[in-house]
Every structure is written in structure tokens, then in C-alpha cells.
Amino acid sequence: MHRDNFQLLDQTVNGHPLIYLDNAATTQKPKEVIHSILDYYTRLNSNIHRGVHYLSQQATTAFEEARTAVQHFINATHQHEIIFTKGTTESINLVASSFGKAFLHEGDEVIISEMEHHSNIVPWQMICEEKKAHLKVLPIDEDGNLKIEELDLLLTKRTKFIAITHISNALGTINPIKRIIEIAHQKDIPVLIDGAQAMSHQPVDVQDLDCDFYCFSGHKMYGPMGVGVLYGKEAWLEKLPPYQGGGEMIQRVTFAHTTFNELPFKFEAGTPNVADVIGLKSAIDYLNRIGISTIAQYENELLEYGAQQLLSIPGLSIIGKAKEKASIISFILDRIHPYDAGLLIDKWGIAVRTGHHCAQPIMDKYGIPGTIRASFALYNTKEEIDRLVDTIKRVQMMLL
């Protein structure tokens, strides 16, 4: 699907046509995204929000148009609820740090889940340690479903925050986040959703979800690296203190006192990544043109076909068999270390990710050192899955 738009895919690796199945790590970029960045540096490059000159105004307009595009893409109520960051990791750190500073006290509790990426564990661990608060963990079952029925048992009067991933990068599980948000809101607990893996796979409507914060990265949705988004409800963003100090986030600075800028600038200290924000808008335009639902449907076909074909290989087990899954398949091979398998699979020009996928607690839960992960995007094909299957069989013949 739309493969012609991705020039990078048109190459050979180790003498074989490249098959890129590491899309959960980062997706490839369509020509128009690459072109929009080139065009920015060729025609528009200038610092924004600062200059009265032509270029600065043009660049500022393009930057703010990107904010509007993101707002519409996730159906946020206000444009100023969109904060540009470096990526999901920075968005989560911003909320953990600012929320923690203002609202966490000794003995308070924060809930995350057992399937979180390290980016949605470590920032909470750090702030909980600083504030002498407790981090509690909602477990998962053997198939990789959240044990949502245990959430009630974890909630106490001291629960101040819940941070949960929308889609697990290691298992592919799609979590029932709307239900979790409903349960949390019955007790006035705010919820952050780590949407890193969701944005290119399914429509996201933050008003319908009613989440308080939603975080994602441009590079996992056909956009550039180095740019991401924090969506926050206006009421929360108004209440949170700034994350970083510097230019652009201030209203008035004296040596005695500083007052802060209005939203969203309060959270965007320093010169932002203008080129990549514009690249992100181009990625959103691209996704809108194809239609996220069309992509989701196609990727589901790949997921079903991939799972079926992979399971036909003797000695292969899939880790993560949740009822609702995105196009991510993690698997292990009997008596073969994932790292050895990954190295050999690469020799046939196929890119998969091997290891713990920055989710070590999940590997601990299953008692494994890591998995081999194939993750599909709109440009992948069933033929590529067939080649992966053939290659795994070859790897088994070589190593067993």
C-alpha cells in the first residue's frame, strides 16, 4: 500500500531486497515529509515567534498551522492544548515532573501498568522517589491483557495519578483506556495515556477518550524524529508549573521575579524544532489523505496473516495474545536466543527488533531475555511476511 512514497524501502541489504519490519521502533518517512523539511530549510528557515521580518512570520505561521493540524487530528478542544516536545519520552517526563512538583506529597500513590515502556515507568519512579510517594503496578494476565478488574483494588484515597499505555510496544495489546479513564474520573484521578504506538494505527479522539494527557512521537507516525506532542486538557495545563525555564516561556523577567507566558508557550522553552514540527504536519496530512481507518484495516489483515503464518513454524511461540491487538507480533524460538536470530534474519535483509524493547518488566513477567518483534506498517505486504517465515525456518536449520 502506497509503497512508492517510501524511497528508502527501495534498496537491497546484504544482497536482498530490504524488508522493514521494525515499524514500532520508527516508521519510514514518505517523500512529502522529507520534502517539507528540505523545503523549510531551503525557503523558510528562521526563528519563530520573535521576529517581525518576513521569514520569521512565514515560519511562525507554518509552525502554528502544524499545531492546528495536530489539534484537529486528535480532536483537542483548543489549539493551546497542544505542546510540542522532543517526543513521547519528553512529554511524559514533563507531566511527571510538573504534576509531581505541584501535586504529589509523601504517601501519595501513582498507578502504572505492568506493560509500560521504560519511558512511562522511570519518570514516575524518579518523581515518586523525590516526593516519597508510592508507585503501584496494575498487572497483566498470561495473554498480555491488563487485569482491569484489579484496578479497583489498587485505587485508594492516596491515588493521585494513573499513567497507562494505549498500545504495548512489546506485546501489541490495545488497552481499554476509555474504561480506565472512566473509572479514574469517578474518583477525580487524572489519567495520562502513552500513545506512542497508537497514533499511526487507529484514530485517536482525546475528547471522546476524555484523557487528561496524551503523549506521542512524530517518528512513529511517518513523521520526523525529534518532535513529539503532549496534549493536555487546558484546565490541567493551566495548573501545572513550567517544566523548563528559558526564552519564549516567559512573560516578564527581572532578577527578582519571572512571570510565565500563556499556553502553550509556558511549556515550550527555547527555540523549538521548527523544521520537524512542519514535517509532522506533513505526516498528518499524509495520514489524513489515506485515512487512519483504512490503514488500521490493512494492518489488521497483515496482523492476522502474520500470526497465522508464524504460528505454523514449529518451536515458535507468540508472546502477547491479547484479544485486542495492534500490528505488532513478538515471538520467541525454542532454544534460540532472540539476539542470534535477529542477527541472522538481518543477513537476509529483514529488519526486526530483538531484545527487551525497553520494557524489561514484561520480559521478567514471562521469564525470557527478550523477544523477536515484527511490527507492520502500511507499506508492508503479505509477501514480506512469507519471506520472514522462510527466513526463520532457515535460521532454525542453521542453529538447531
What residues act catalytically? 358
Spatial contact of 160 and 110, defined as CB atoms under 8 Å apart: yes
Dihedral-angle region of residue 339 (phi above 0 means left; psi in -120 to 50 means alpha; beta otherwise): alpha
Count of beta carbons in the 10 Å neighbourhood of residue 188:
8
> Helices marked H in 188-337 — which ranges?
206-209, 234-239, 274-290, 292-311
CB closer to ligand C6P out of 59 and 341: 341
State in angstroms the smallest separation of the CB of 196 from ligand C6P.
Answer: 3
Minimum Å gap between C-beta 43 and ligand C6P is 28
Point out which residues bind ligand C6P (CB under 6 A).
24-25, 87-89, 117, 119-120, 165, 169, 194, 196-197, 217, 353, 357-358
Provide the 10 A C-beta neighbour count for residue 253.
12
φ and ψ at 302, to 5 degrees?
-65, -40
Q: Which is nearer to ligand C6P, 120 or 200 (CB)?
A: 120
Task: Write down the least CB distance from residue 21 to ligand C6P, Å.
Answer: 12
CB 45, min distance to ligand C6P, A: 24
Determine contact, residues 158/398, Cβ cutoff 8 Å. Answer: no
Q: How many CB atoms lie within 10 A of CB 207?
A: 11
Spatial distance between the Cα atoms of 14 and 18, rounded to a whole number of angstroms:
9
Cα 54 to Cα 46, 98, 270, 281: the distances in Å are 9, 36, 21, 21
Nearest distance in Å: CB 327, ligand C6P: 13
The residue among 76 and 163 lying less far from ligand C6P, judged by its C-beta, is 163
* Contact between residue 202 and residue 216 where contact means Cβ atoms under 8 Å apart: no
